[in-house]
Structures are given as C-alpha cells and as structure tokens.
Structure 1
Amino acid sequence: MNYKVYVNGESAGIYTTNVFPMPYNEVQVMEYTSFQMNQPVDIRIESEAFLNNVMIRPLSLGLEFTYKDHEIVIHLEEPKKFSVEINGSYYNNLLVFAEAQQYEDFDKYAENVIYFSRGVHTVDILTVNRDNTVVYLEEGAFLNGKIDLDHCNHVTICGYGTISMEKYPLEVRNIYHRCVDAMNCREVCIKDITITDSNDWSLRIFGCEEVIIDNVKIFGCRGNSDGIDICGSRNVLVQNVFTRVWDDSLVVKAFNTGNLENVTFRSSILWNDFARPMEVGVELRAEKVRNVRFENIDIIHSPTGYPLMGIHHGDRAEISDIHFENIRIENAPGAQLFDIRIRDSFWNRDKEKGNIKDIFFKNIDYIGNPGTDLLLSRSRLQGLSEESGIRNITFENIKILGKTAASEKDCGLLVMDYVDNVVLLSEECTQKINLIDTRIEIPEEFVQDDNGFYKGRVRVELENTGKEDQSAVFWLQISPAHVGEYKREAEAFLLKAGDSRSFDYDISLPPGKYVIAVQSDNANVSYAWKFLQLDWVLREGAEVNKAPELEFINYYNIRTRGLKAAVHKEELILQSDILKDGNNSLVLYTALPVDRREEEVIFSVEETDFGVVPAVISGKHSLELAPQLRCPLEITLVFKNEPKVKEIKKTLIPGGGNGTVAIPLTELGLEPGIRHFWMEVEARTQDVTEYRYPYTMFHSVTPETSAHMFANVVINTDDAIR
C-alpha cells in the first residue's frame, strides 16, 4: 500500500480497484478510502513516497490542507469526494470518499429487503422482478456478479457496499455484463453503492421512468466500461456521482423504448482515462431526445483529446434542449471542448437521420492542469444535410484559462456544413482572449537526398489579432514523435497588437506520413497544422546494401536496427540486422492503392490515443481533423473510416539468416510490373513486446486491419532518386 489514512486519529480502511491509465500498456491498481462522518473531521494521510507537492482535485472544492515530508492533513467540514495527487502526477493517487453517516436505523431484515452483510458474496446474476424490493449492501459487503432489475416498480439498491465483475472475463460478456441493469422499471433509486470493474457498461437505465441515481461511485478499466448510460428513459436524476472509467462517463442513448426526456446529471466528478466525459449518442433511436441537462460538473482528468461535451447522432431522433452549464475542466490537454456532429456509424440502425437543435453551453471553464500542456483541439459543429442539420446553438461565457471567448475563433470553433444560427455571448466586464492567429506554410517542396531523407522548410506565421501586445512561446511538433531532425525547442516571441512575424524551420524526415503542428502553453496561441506525405522510393535494380537505411522508432523513442530495401527482377530485396537474430522477425503488410474517399482517415498514430495529435480525415471540402477518432476501433469499426482496400496481404519473414531476403512481388499480392503500392513493415523484437501496439516503421497501430498509415511506395526505374 502507498497510503495509510486516519480520520480523527482512527485508522480508515484502504481499498483497491483496477484502472487502465495512459499509455494503456497494463492494468494498474489504484487505492481509495471510504469512511462515514456526521461532523467536521481532520484527515491525516501517510504517504509512502516523500511529498514534494500535493494537489487535491477537483480544485473547485477549495479544501484546506497542509503537507510535510510524508504526511498530508486535510480538514473537512462535510462529506466530499476528492482525489489526492502527489508530486505532479495523477498516478499513484489516493481517492477519498467521505460519506454521510446513515443506515444506522435501517431494517435490513425486513421482508422486502435482500440483504448482503459485510464480507464477500458471489451471486453471478441477481434478478429482481418483484415490486417494492430493497437490495441493501452493508458497508464492507463485496458482491461478485451483477444485479438486474426487470419490469419492477418502486425498487431501491443502496448501502455502502460494492458490486464488482472483476471475476468475470471478457469471454463471458454475452452473459455477465453491466453490473447494474434496470430494464423497463418505474420509481427506481440507486444510491451510495460502489461499482468496480464492470464487464461492459457499469450502470444502465433502459426504458425506465422516475429514476434517481445518487452518490454512486464507479470504477471501470475495460473497453466499453461506461459509467452511467441512460437509454430511452424519462424523468431521471443522476447526482453526486464519481466516475473513473476507461470509456464514456455520463451517456444518453435511446433504443426504441420511447422518447428520452427530462434527464439531469448534476454535481458530479468525472475522470476518464480514455473516452468522453459527457456524451449524447451515438445510438439515438427514438422520436425525441429532449431536455437533457449536465450541470455543475467537474472533469478532473480527460487526457486523450476526446470531445469533453459531445453530441454524436446517426439515427432518427430529433434532439433538442440539451444544456451544459457550470462545467469545470481541469487536466484535459489537447481536448476538444465541444463536438456536435450528424454522421452514420456502425452503431446506427435508422435509415432516416434526425436533426439537432436548441443546444446551450453556459459557464464553461477550461482551467487546465492548471494551465495548458497542449493547445485545445478545434471544436466542431457539422450537420449531414439540409434535412439533418444543426441549428440554434448558444455559447455563453466560455472561459479558457481565465479569459473569455468573444468569437467563434477565440473558442476554437469550426462551424461547418448544415449549421444555422450559432450565437456566442460573453460578459462585457470579463477579460477577453487576445488571439494569436497561426498558420503553417511549406514554401518549397520537400526533396529526397541520397540518404533517403526528405529535406524541406516549414514556415510558421504568427499574427496578433487582438488589441494588446502579446509575449508567449510556441514550438513545432511533428507527429509521429521522435522522427526526423528539426528544432524542437520552444521559440519566444513578442508581438505588438496587429503585428505579425514568421519563423522558418529546416526539417529532415524519412518517408512516411506526418502532421506538423504549432503547440504552445499559452491558450491565446491558436492551433495550426499541416499534413505531409513523403513517398518511400525504392530503386529498381540497385544493390540493396547501397540503399538508404530507414530506422524503426516508436512513441517511447525506442530505436532498433534499421531496414534497407530495393527491387530487383520483380523481387523485393530487404536487408536488416534484425533478421540475423532467430528470435526476431519482420512482417510485411502490403495493399494496392485505392482512391481516397470522403470521411476516410489518412493519418492516426499511437499518440493519437494519448491526445497529442488528432486523426486526419479526408473531409467534404478539404482535409479535416477528427478528434472523436481517438482509437483504432472507432476508425475501423465504429465510423468505418479506414481505406477500403481489397486486401491487406500479410507476409512473415523469420529471422535467423544472414540478414538479407528476397520476396517475389507476387507473394506480396502484387502483380508483375507494378510500380506503386502501399506497405507497412513490423519489427517483432523482444524489446517491444510489453507495449500496446506493434513496432511498425510507418507507425501503423493496427496494420492487419487498416492501411491508412502505410507508406506510399514508388518503384523508381531511373538511376536518380527523385
């Protein structure tokens, strides 16, 4: 254990739960404590690690505390939930749940009570289908399994116990899913319990009416481990909850169980290790989805750049009266504040597409870490057609690092197709954002040298569009990370109001696909980006040992022996020291090029998962960023954005030889005489087996299923490299 906790001198228990934090190479264990109080208390926390600094989130609590050496003392006037984070990191944090003292007079032996005492219980599936039932989990009760509420009325699940599915692997998810599932019920109350490690969504309300969810704590570490999903239900109140989940936290959906109406989420704390904190969609199969409110919510961590407040629609519903108000956002580097979009997806079923109207964002406060580590991604409003459009969107008092956005540009907002009547309001007395407009230009075409690298120049142009002088820093960020040579250090500048300035960067890059971006720790600097594709040119008839050598580099800056390639007599010749080791191998992935289609992803790398760089798609009018595409499954499955190649041919090349191999092009699925194809190369070596994604030369994360990052290979029959 990393911590010991004492409340008014009495030892409090420490519990553990599984979490799956970035960079998602392994599930980790997080500690939390829970105790009850009915008067002010002093909490003393002993930390195994020496304390250089301490932060308590959410910052809006303003809790009083002191710390020294290995000890933190916190004074608490009333029950609260918070995260204690030490030494500048949220890893190895301690969650504290100070609960109201209650249940002393609870009649746990009443006839209508299903009672679980302190200790471990295994129920697998507990089905409640009788009206007027109470399921009571005493403090210290740990329930392995799930609870289904099925067509029953006036039912309560309560107590300070825990429901967990940690014993149920993914393989049984078709039976053991959703820790708490209320289906077609009325007058349901779920309060005070803790849910951990659900196999799929943690808590679902499906086709229900008159529901209260209060003071529930949820931890999820698996894919699809949503926090709370309200599906096709009416008159639902969710309040005082805490979520730390891998998938979405608070979600609204509909599945043909009637309209979704009158749903409120309020006074809650959200921590998303991967996906979205607040989401309406993407399944919205109803006539109406209306009057949904997200109020007084703290997002303390959302590190992967996903939309923080999203409405994603691809079914028939008319969506209206959705309110996001008094939302405070802390650690969310590179995030997209708002994303409202109508598009089809894997999860949609309705042929008819609905519309979105009357959406309100008010008092949205992006605090940052505090401050920003990466600039926010551009927010987006995008309809589908004249009939399936977006209208009447109001943004009021949007603050970014303490300054108010007075325009769509200040807000980083892209208003795209089929969007009408966007209104942005701000208070006159507040300090406004003083925007530095940025652009990236490539004044000269990149040219390949004899070493196989491309040389070129990138120009960053800055313009102070505000009324005040500005001093700040920016830096050039090229993704994938650690590739190529260029000035990575921050550049300081001073710009008077109305002035502009440009900075030139000489850049050397190997073949591949790149996003070049402007980054800053100053939110007044706008985000700018440029996509760059550099062909992998192979010489026809050249000796492979004289070919340029390309190096394998991954997101963690692990570098290994490189690869040389040439083409001779309709064979691909490869040379690499990797192949001299019998424990290693190379895998080639080849595909025939296809025409680029609208919505198709053309760029997404490992750090896209981590919020560093958004995916790039081929938009209706030009290339677009797509921050909602943060994981490979959303690219290949959910939104079907992968290039529609006929086949990805996989060829394994075992190691153990002299390091040189010749493979007929026909064995790679290529016709004789071909001079243009797509290819990715994976190096299977022992030093990268612990990492989430394969070790690929051109940074594909799922090369077996998606070809969008494959190199554009050109066989050059001329002696000169173009």
Structure 2
Amino acid sequence: MLRLLLSALWICVLAGAVAGAEVNVAGVPQGISLNDDFTVKVRPEGKSKWVLVPIYLVKVDEVRGTKHHVEHASMVTFDFSGKVDIEVTYNKGKIDSARVRPLSYDIPFTIEGNTLQFSLEKPANLSVEVNGDIFHNLHLFANPLDTFKVDKKNPDLIYFGPGIHRFEGGEFRIPSGKTVYVAGGAVMMGRMLIENGHDVKLLGRGIIDPSVKMGIRIANSRNVYVEGLVATQCATGGSDSVTIRNVKVISYFGWGDGMNVFSSRNVLFDRVFCRTSDDCTTVYGTRLGFEGPSSNITMQNSTLWADVAHPIFIGIHGNVDKPEILENLNYVNIDILDHKEKQLNYQGCLAINAGDENLIRNVRFENIRIENFRQGQLVNLRIFFNEKYCKAPGRGIENVVFKNVSYTGNRAEISIIEGYDEQRKIRNIRFENLRINGQIISDDMPGKPKWYHTGDMARIYVGPHVENISFLNTFEK
C-alpha cells in the first residue's frame, strides 16, 4: 500500500521579455535536507525579477589517503527555455576564484564580492566550484522545459505530485505498460523498480532521496524509457531497448556505481550526469544474477565524475563456463571531470579490463575531453586475471578506436595497454588525434626519435601481446 505525505510546496513560472524565455522552479517539501552554502537565483534574460531556487543537500565521497569521508555538497534543479541569467552567491565568504565545469563549455562568468553570475542559452549539467573546493560545490542542473502533459484520467499514468512519497518495503514497482510521472518538487523515499516489465516510462523532474541506494533499477525488462530524474544510482540488467536521458546520479556510499549495465542489449544513455563513489558507468556480462553478454551500448553527450574508481569501465565480469562477447560499445561527446583511484589495479579514465573469458570488441571512444583529474591513468587496456573478481582471464580485446580524445593536466600516471599471453591478445587499437596538453600524439609526430614507441610520447606503456596499435594525426590529411 502506498502511503503519501504531501507538504506545502510552491512552483514558480516566470515568462521572460524575450520571446520563448521561461523559467520553472519547483520548491522542496518540508523535512528534506537543504544546504545553505550558496544562494541561487535565476531569471529570464531581460527580466528584473529574480526567482530563488531551493538548494538540496547532497552527499559526496572524498578519499583522503585510504579513508573515505562523506562531505556535504549542494544541488539545484530547474527548467528553462530561451536565455536565462543565473546568480550564485557564496554564503561562506569571498570568492577568490571559481570554475564552472565542464570547462569545455567555456561559460563566461563575472565575480563581484561573494557573487558569481553567468548566463545559459541551452540546458546543461554543471558544477560551480568556489575557491578550489570540489567537495562542497554546487551541482546545477538546468533542464529543458518539461513538456509532459499530465492527464490524470489516463489509466496508464501513475502520477506523483509535489511532496514526500513513502512506500512499504522501500520501493515502488512499476507495472508493464505504465507511465510514471514524478513531478518537480516530489521526493521519493524509496527506489523505483522496473522488473520483469515492458513498455514502461519513468519521467519527471523529481528526485529519489539521497538516502536511497540504487534509486532506479531496471531488471529483466524491455522497451524502457527513463528521463529527467535525480537519484543515487541507475542500473540496467538483463534488459533490452532501454533509454536513459537527462538522468543525474550522485552517490557517496561504498559500491556506489552510477550507471551499470549487466547482460543487456540496446541501451542508450543521453545527456546524463554521474558523480559517483565508485565507477561512473560500466558494461559487464554475467553478474549479480543477470546472465548473458552485453551489446549495442551507447553513452553520449554526458558528464562523468569518479570520486573513486573509473569514469568508464568495461569487461571484468562474465561467464567462464559459457564465454561471452561484449561488443559494439560507444562513448561519444563526453566530459570527464575527475578520476581518483590510488589502487593501481583499478585506474583508468577509459578502462577495458577483460576477465572471466570475455572477448571485448568494437569499442569507440570519440570526442572525449578529460580534465585534470586527481589521481589515475588516462587509458587502461588489459587482459588480466583479477583473482578477487574473476575466475579466469579474458579472451581478448579487439578493434578499439580512440578518436579526438584530449587530456589537459599534469597528474596522469603511466597508462597501460597489455595482453595476457599468445592466446589472449589485444589487437587493432587505433588512436586518432590523441591530444595531450594540446599536442597531438602520432606515429609521425615532430620531435619523436625513431627508436621511441609512440606511446612513450603520451606516457602509455604498450606491453607484450599487443598487435597492430597505431597513433594517427588525421587533422593533417
């Protein structure tokens, strides 16, 4: 039985003087944790009236040495169209320096005292950081206008309005054929479960409370569409034809992977944001009760921030008794804001580690921008036997393209590309326009001694059992 508690809530809609400019801001129910480190206001361009945006408290994981510490950060979310002005006031003191990330967005801003201002003309998932503090930052999720029309007479619609929603057993199971809409200002105090279902939609601008682990779970289902929510995790297992769009996840607890894929096909992530206390996104075979390979997985137009472990991780889990293939995996137009991992065995912003007899092939990393992460490697491609998690090494890694991948920074440790033995090799690895601090790394690059491996110029160790690796500069052709 569903028990529902609604609290007083306001929603502000402000139309701008500029045609099409509009801002929608939903309030927060009483009893939800807020954070007063910042004050955030927004307005359509050309309007004088500011709208105050409520600020949620979210938890993030800071690793100091080998210990984990939970820190309190901030989050705001609103919808808009047209062009909007945003004002962020830092309530803890003066702003000496600031960043609005991803840096590739190149968003200009002004600072006056303890207030920062900038404008947006299109939706964006941002991190506003003051005085170099990334653990008490402001996560600013500026969404497109929500155009979904709520028809409460529709028998296939399940509507959760503004307020706090609690569920017996700590979860809400979504039946097949249903659309669940979670309105802005709604806070779900249990996970949203799509299990053994089909033709399901989960939409809205609400949030799953940060206390709820695995806030969204898709299991053994098909034809699933999830859009717009904020949660701690969003995992897909044993499923086919899944789209996850403009979903934001922030985790702080152990094993806090963001968007895992297990034994699934035809999964699309578009415009997602992951800041996680373990891997941001993964692709595995057989694992945790899900059986079979994974294929046709795409993540695009997204932002990844790994406070622990990998931003992108592929391949460690599978079925040694019935070897699997993980294939046709695409990562396109992605910003990686951070990577922090002290354990050498688990480093790599772009990591493919073949274990459990997996064969991993046809992987594409394209238009990936990697900022100056705290600790780890740029690339880690290995066929290995990790006895903690695997029963056997992987079979191989084949046909991997890194196209227009850039890294700007000075903290990357030595990257690794290494096979296992003569039967378990890495083959056909192509780097096109790999750019390290502005310099393109290629086999014919100026200044490279003939006796050097090209990987040496990028601090990439190319070990044994690797065949046909190339570094190309296609900009010059």
TM-score range for the pair, normalised by the shorter chain length? 0.7 to 0.9
1:249 paired to 2:283: no
Give the partner amino acid of 1:332: F
Alignment match, 2:468: 421
CA distance in 2, matches of 1:187, 1:412: 43
Alignment match, 1:41: 84
CA distance in 2, matches of 1:391, 1:280: 16
CA distance in 1, matches of 2:156, 2:135: 43
Give the partner amino acid of 2:407: Y
CA distance in 1, matches of 2:86, 2:60: 25
Give the partner amino acid of 1:32: M
Alignment CA distance shift 1:351-1:247 (3 Å): closer
| Cα deviation digits, residues 249-308 of structure 1 (max 9, x gap) | 011011163331111001111111111100102113352110001111001122446310
Alignment match, 2:7: none
Alignment match, 1:7: 42
Aligned partner of residue 90 in structure 1, secondary structure = strand
Alignment match, 2:357: 316
Cα distance, 1:363 vs. partner? 0.8
1:279 paired to 2:313: yes
Q: Is the CA contact (8 Å cut-off) linking 1:269 and 1:299 kept in structure 2?
A: yes
Alignment match, 2:16: none
Aligned partner of residue 211 in structure 2, secondary structure = coil
CA distance in 2, matches of 1:226, 1:429: 40
Give the partner amino acid of 2:194: L
1:121 paired to 2:165: yes
Give the partner amino acid of 1:241: V
Select which of 181, 205, 227 maps to 2:217. Answer: 181
1:58 paired to 2:102: yes
| TM-score normalised according to structure 1 size | 0.55
| TM-score normalised according to structure 2 size | 0.82
Alignment CA distance shift 1:71-1:292 (3 Å): same
Select which of 236, 244, 250 maps to 1:205. Answer: 236
CA distance in 1, matches of 2:119, 2:211: 34
Give the partner amino acid of 2:386: S
- In the TM superposition, what are the counterparts of 1:152-551 in structure 2 within 5 Å? 152-164=197-209, 166=211, 178-196=214-232, 202-255=233-286, 257-285=291-319, 287-304=324-341, 306-346=347-387, 348=389, 351=392, 353-368=394-409, 372=410, 374=411, 376-406=412-442, 407-427=454-474, 429=476
Long gaps (5+) in structure 2: 1-35, 44-49, 443-453
CA distance in 1, matches of 2:247, 2:294: 22
Alignment match, 1:635: none
Cα distance, 1:32 vs. partner? 1.3
Select which of 140, 150, 162 maps to 2:195. Answer: 150
CA distance in 2, matches of 1:214, 1:230: 15
Cα distance, 1:245 vs. partner? 0.6
Q: Is the CA contact (8 Å cut-off) linking 1:248 and 1:272 kept in structure 2?
A: yes
CA distance in 1, matches of 2:187, 2:174: 22
Alignment CA distance shift 1:108-1:231 (3 Å): farther
Select which of 128, 134, 140 maps to 1:84. Answer: 128
CA distance in 1, matches of 2:432, 2:130: 35
Alignment CA distance shift 1:354-1:46 (3 Å): same
The number of residues matched between the two structures is: 411
Q: Is the CA contact (8 Å cut-off) linking 1:323 and 1:359 kept in structure 2?
A: yes
CA distance in 2, matches of 1:130, 1:237: 22
| Percent identity of paired positions between Structure 1 and Structure 2 | 30
Q: Is the CA contact (8 Å cut-off) linking 2:293 and 2:318 kept in structure 1?
A: no
| Cα deviation digits, residues 90-136 of structure 1 (max 9, x gap) | 23211111111114522245212222221112224435363211222
CA distance in 1, matches of 2:207, 2:469: 45
CA distance in 1, matches of 2:405, 2:457: 14
CA distance in 2, matches of 1:220, 1:137: 20
CA distance in 2, matches of 1:333, 1:225: 19
Aligned partner of residue 21 in structure 1, secondary structure = strand
Alignment CA distance shift 1:11-1:89 (3 Å): same
CA distance in 2, matches of 1:103, 1:42: 22
Cα distance, 1:148 vs. partner? 2.0
Alignment match, 2:179: 134
Cα distance, 1:421 vs. partner? 1.1
Alignment CA distance shift 1:125-1:334 (3 Å): closer
Give the partner amino acid of 1:361: F
CA distance in 1, matches of 2:174, 2:164: 24
Cα distance, 1:427 vs. partner? 4.3
CA distance in 1, matches of 2:157, 2:474: 53
Alignment CA distance shift 1:50-1:65 (3 Å): same
Aligned partner of residue 116 in structure 2, secondary structure = strand
CA distance in 1, matches of 2:317, 2:162: 39
Select which of 59, 65, 74 maps to 1:31. Answer: 74
Alignment match, 2:27: none
Alignment CA distance shift 1:99-1:109 (3 Å): farther
Q: CA RMSD in A?
A: 2.0
Cα distance, 1:348 vs. partner? 4.6
CA distance in 2, matches of 1:262, 1:54: 39
1:106 paired to 2:150: yes
CA distance in 1, matches of 2:146, 2:374: 39
Cα distance, 1:320 vs. partner? 0.5
Alignment CA distance shift 1:108-1:345 (3 Å): farther
Task: Please say which structure displays the higher CA radius of gyration.
Answer: 1
CA distance in 1, matches of 2:341, 2:357: 30
Cα distance, 1:86 vs. partner? 1.4
CA distance in 1, matches of 2:68, 2:264: 37
Give the partner amino acid of 2:69: E
Cα distance, 1:230 vs. partner? 1.1
Q: Is the CA contact (8 Å cut-off) linking 2:71 and 2:135 kept in structure 1?
A: no
Q: Is the CA contact (8 Å cut-off) linking 1:103 and 1:159 kept in structure 2?
A: no
Long gaps (5+) in structure 1: 168-176, 197-201, 431-722
Aligned partner of residue 104 in structure 2, secondary structure = helix
